[in-house]
Amino acid sequence: MPLPAPEIEVKSGTTNILDGTTTAIDFGSTTVGTAVTKTFTINNTGTSSLSLSTPTLPTGFTLLGMFPSEIAPGSTADFQLQLNATATGNPKGTISFGNNDSDENPFDFAIAGTVNPVANLIPTITNVTSTAPNGKYTVGQVIPINVTFSENVFVNGTPQLVLETGVLDAVVNFSSGSGTNTLTFNYKVGVKDTTPDLDYLSRAALKLNNGAIEDADGNNALLTLPTPGTAGSLSANKAIEIPTFKIIAGTNRRDNLTGTALSDRLIGEQSNDTLTGGGGADEFVYNRIQDRFDTITDFQVGIDKIVMTNLLASFNYSGSNPIADGIVSFSSQGSNTILLLDPDGTDGSALASSYITFINVSVADLNNPNNFVFS
């Protein structure tokens, strides 16, 4: 009669593993940082207890939890191995563990796996907003548009952002932010621009313009913007209005321009022009020093505006209050007021000269930044 003896059997799932096999049990493919675990079962099909010793493992693999030390006849026990996935490569080798099965000691078999690098993530757009306060803006004012990505991006060339601004959409060049996760496009309001709530034209409104936007690994950014009006879009984050005006423009000759009962934008251009806004909240726009010697017949203090953004930019004024800086001053002439312009202000040697005459408006009423748009 044979003596009682253990008999070892090892399985991976339903697959029986032969002792000494060189056909590796494959842990499959994974990426760095994502470990893979596989469970093995040891059966004792013999008639006495099966004793086991701690296994030795090839580099790249780890035993998870306890390894069984004793299995009763007719019983099973599981153990788990982990493909660590700490570095790229193809870890492989033999697992081996001692036991008291006389013809299968040690029990060993091959294991292997593949660890790939993490796929480079593509930068995506996560948000569009502006640092400009909510409110109404007019011709010549600059509104920074900030496009935020999921990671830092680098810009080559001059990408462009297309804004929905009425009949003529505004095409805005990239301004700054390369090497950060936020790119800035400085939008300068045009004379014919209008929108009740500023936003870009569409999800495809960011254009490379023969340039590039990519991350540090050279992955091209996905340029799809949030749908206009939805979460993450410019109009969802901000409430920036560019009011609608009827444009009434003069020539380089002496003009007599008259507005309507609605809000008008009057642009006299050069020469001695006579401007009458009519009703509504009107804007009188001045772009150059040469646009001087105009007469405004019906300026409504606190309602109408003198827009000087482009004029001040033409001689590189960078302050915020040209009245306080001596660029703009006032002189009375009977019941009228003369606006005087001095491009170098109190710091220079130039003298202030007559620029606009306001009929029946006092110096006290006109001398207020609220009557002007300076920046």
pLDDT in tens, the chain (375 residues): 578 999 999 999 999 999 999 999 999 999 999 999 999 999 999 999 999 999 999 999 999 999 999 999 999 999 999 999 999 999 999 999 999 999 999 999 999 999 998 877 899 999 999 999 999 999 999 999 999 999 999 999 999 999 999 999 999 999 999 999 999 999 999 999 999 999 999 999 999 999 999 999 899 999 999 999 999 999 999 999 999 999 999 998 899 999 999 999 999 888 799 999 998 999 999 999 999 999 999 999 999 999 999 999 998 998 989 999 999 999 999 999 999 999 988 776 778 999 999 999 999 999 999 999 998
HSE-CB of 296 using CA atoms within 13 angstroms: 30
**Residue-level pLDDT at 146:** 99
**Residue-level pLDDT at 270:** 82
Residue 280 φ then ψ, to 5°: 80, 175
- How many separate helices (H) and strands (E) can be counted in the chain? 3, 32
Place of tokens 């950014």: 221
HSE-CB of 270 using CA atoms within 13 angstroms: 4
286 and 306 Cβ atoms separated by less than 8 Å = yes
Nearest of 296, 270, 274 to residue 283 by alpha carbon: 296
d(C-alpha 347, C-alpha 343), whole Å: 10
Q: What are the Cα distances from residue 230, in Å, to 96, 170, 198, 234, 304?
A: 59, 21, 13, 9, 34
Question: How is residue 50 written in tokens?
Answer: 């099966």
**Residue-level pLDDT at 121:** 83
Nearest of 105, 94, 98 to residue 24 by alpha carbon: 94
d(C-alpha 190, C-alpha 167), whole Å: 12
153 residue type, one letter? V
Question: How is residue 352 written in tokens?
Answer: 């202030």
Nearest of 140, 186, 136 to residue 311 by alpha carbon: 140
**Residue-level pLDDT at 1:** 56
Q: Which domains can be identified in the chain, with CATH numbers?
A: 8-116 (2.60.40.10), 125-241 (2.60.40), 246-373 (2.150.10.10)
DSSP class of 304? S
Question: How is residue 267 written in tokens?
Answer: 């642009």
d(C-alpha 341, C-alpha 339), whole Å: 7
Secondary structure of 149-178 as H, E, C letters: ECCCCEEECCCEEEEECCCCCEEEEEEECC
Scanning 195-308, the segments in alpha helix (DSSP H) are: 234-237
**Residue-level pLDDT at 307:** 96
**Residue-level pLDDT at 217:** 87
